Amino acid sequence: MRTVIRNGRIVTAVDDYNADILIEDGRVAMIAKSIDFEADKVIDAKGRLVIPGGIDPHTHMELPFGGTFASDTFETGTRAAAHGGTTTIIDFAVQGKGESLNQALDNWHAKAEGKTSVDYGFHLICTDLPDERLPELKSLINQGVSSFKLFMAYPGVFLVDDGTIYNAMRVAGDAGGLICMHAENGVIINQIIKHALAEGKTAPKYHALTRPTLAEAEGVHRAIAIAEMADSPVYIVHLSCDDALQEVTRARDKGIPAYAETCPQYLFLDYSVYEKPDFEGAKWVMTPPIREKHNQDKLWRGLQYNDLQVISTDHCPFCFKDQKQLGRDDFTKIPNGGPGVEHRMSLVYNGGVVGGRISVNRFVEITSTNAAKIFGLFPRKGTIAVGSDADIVIFDPNEEQTISAKSHHMNVDYSCYEGVTVRGVTKTVLSRGELVIEEGNYVGKAGHGQFLKRGLFNSPRG
């Protein structure tokens, strides 16, 4: 099968030029000013950007949480991801208490195998890591699961203590793996929550008001300090606020290998979402919570100056109509998480490139290339180069779309961005050379996506 993409403007993290692309056997075979070979399929990309498929390294399809499950399956979630120009997700497998890491991984393989429209990898959330289980980290790294998430939050559910974090960082770091940290001081947060509930504060907004930015900053500071003592890199997930960012910046200025991602919800939404009447604020109950508006400019600055390297989504949808209602009388029972996998690329293009905050190259770097490097997928993924997988998005930089639950493809009954109009639309998507989206229509198939055996952690520039 030969496909040629003609007349496009190819943009990678470093390049920006007009050329044609020949795809053979799922890979980029040639890039040239003009390619006139016979092809089975010719795609005209005139007036459009031709960019590497997006990589979302933080999703939770079917995550069990608070007595329910995230509402997107691997099938619905990866279809929605493809619609939005994301051709790789890295989802979080979860270790149950007492379970081996290998068993947890097998469970997640069973959920995803044969279901996805685009390629996928796994991180592993470790909840139970006694010393005798530490060698399993190395075994997982050898199976292509080279990153692990640990929680400083949710005592009794996900939280692991500092000694465990230190040991995991030492062992994983030594083997070329990476610890991803949910950095919030959950022990203090639980005390603040206890006091709030005792005062009858049960509405959704108290989810935000009981999780101060200082609790996140303290977690980030501690995570980086433990990583420094363990002589390992660390990656802070879903960083939400300036206080936490300052900790990352301070560490990076000292040359410590600390990396961090933020998410569109922290760049484009603010605390006022929680003040909506009729329990509507529950739609944005996610952790960390949406912060005060002044944090947004600081996060953009972090992206501009490379103190933040990645934008992921933390996609973890729960339906408003039934699932979010579990916490109607008590915000602590609202399942934590929100939908986002579909609109990351357009939101970031609109807010970043159209908004004049970042270059189009930086847009590619933070939505694709850096995640590929950090999570051991580069240069197979994250760029357009001869030999790379032909995960390619043809993106119209001028077309506008209005985001709505009525038209989105995620399996959830609301949008965090209902009615927001953005410029920049994913038109056509190829995954390893196969069309998944053609002019906005899904033409892929569940089961096309393959599990990605990832390599070791690689530092993106700096």
Tell me the residue number closest to Zn ion, measured at CB: 182
Stretch that binds Zn ion, among 36-44, 215-223, 278-286, 308-316 (CB under 5 A): 308-316
Distances (CA, A) of 462 to 252, 370, 391, 438, 459: 9, 11, 26, 37, 7
- Closest contact distance (angstroms) between CB of 317 and ligand URP is 10
**Binding piece for Zn ion, criterion CB under 5 A, among 123-131, 163-171, 174-182, 317-325:** 174-182
What is the smallest separation between the CB atom of 336 and ligand URP, expressed in angstroms? Answer: 3
Residue 337 interacting partner from Zn ion, ligand URP, none (CB closer than 5 to 8 Å by kind): ligand URP
Q: Which of 376, 460, 381 is nearest to 148 (CA)?
A: 376
Q: Measured from the CB of residue 47, what is the shortest distance to ligand URP in angstroms?
A: 38
**314 touches Zn ion by CB under 5 A:** yes
Instruction: List interacting residues with ligand URP (CB under 6 A).
Output: 60, 182, 238, 286-287, 314, 316, 336-337
Beta bridge partners of 21: 5, 31
Q: What is the largest CA-CA distance in the chain?
A: 73
Per-residue b or e along 203-220, where b marks 16 or more CB atoms closer than 10 Å to that residue's CB: bbbbbbbbbbbebbbbbb
List the beta strands (DSSP E) in 190-326. 234-236, 258-262, 310-311
Task: Note whether 20 binds Zn ion by CB under 5 A.
Answer: no
Please identify, using beta-carbon distances, which residue of 137 and 153 lies nearer to Zn ion: 153
Q: Among residues 235 and 363, whose Cβ is nearest to Zn ion?
A: 235
Give the length of the chain: 462
Nearest residue (CB) to Zn ion, 313 versus 401: 313
Which of the listed partners (ligand URP, Zn ion, none) does 336 bind, with a CB threshold of 5 to 8 Å by partner kind?
ligand URP
Distance CA 259, CA 234 (A): 6
- For the CB of residue 187, give the shortest distance to ligand URP in the complex, in Å: 16
Contacts of 198 (CB under 8 A, 6+ apart): none
Compute the distance between CA of residue 432 and CA of residue 98 in angstroms, rounded to an integer: 38
Query: Is the Cβ of residue 316 or residue 437 nearer to ligand URP in the bound state?
Result: 316
**Contact of residue 260 among ligand URP, Zn ion, none (CB under 5-8 Å per partner type):** none
Q: Contact region for Zn ion (CB under 5 A) — 38-46, 192-200, 244-252, 306-314?
A: 306-314
What is the Cα–Cα distance from 50 to 21, expressed in whole angstroms? 10
| Element of type H or E holding 136 | helix 135-142
CB of 238: closest distance to ligand URP in angstroms?
A: 6
Q: Which two tokens stand for residue 25?
A: 């056997």
Q: Which of 1, 6, 30 lies closest to 388 in space, CA to CA?
A: 30
- For residue 53, the minimal CB distance to ligand URP (Å) is 23
Binding region for Zn ion (CB under 5 A) out of 16-24, 42-50, 196-204, 312-320: 312-320
CB atoms within 10 A of CB 359: 15
Residue 285 or 425: the one with the smaller Cβ distance to ligand URP is 285
Strands (DSSP E) found in 318-439: 392-402, 421-431, 434-438
Long-range own/partner contacts, residues 160-164 (CB < 8 A, 24 or more apart): 160/126, 160/127, 160/129, 162/222, 162/226, 164/129
Using CA atoms, how far residue 307 sits from 86, 124, 217, 338, in Å, is: 23, 25, 15, 25
Structure tokens of 375?
Answer: 């999570």
Minimum distance from CB of 334 to ligand URP (Å)? 10
| Three-state SS at 159 | strand
182 makes contact with Zn ion (CB under 5 A) = yes
Quick one: 335 or 433, whose CB is closer to ligand URP? 335
Which C-beta is closer to Zn ion: that of 9 or that of 182? 182
Question: With CB cut-offs between 5 and 8 Å by kind, which of ligand URP, Zn ion, none does residue 286 bind?
Answer: ligand URP
**Shortest distance, position 238 Cβ to Zn ion, whole Å:** 6
Query: Can residue 56 be called a binding residue for Zn ion (CB under 5 A)?
Result: no
Please identify, using beta-carbon distances, which residue of 59 and 232 lies nearer to ligand URP: 59
User: 277 preceded by cis ω (within 30°)?
Assistant: no
Assess 307 for contact with Zn ion (CB under 5 A): no
Using CB under 5 A, which of the segments 239-247, 257-265, 311-319, 430-438 binds Zn ion? 311-319
Residue 123 interacting partner from Zn ion, ligand URP, none (CB closer than 5 to 8 Å by kind)? none
Q: Which does 87 bind (CB under 5 to 8 A by kind): ligand URP, Zn ion, none?
A: none
What residue ranges bind Zn ion (CB under 5 A)? 182, 314
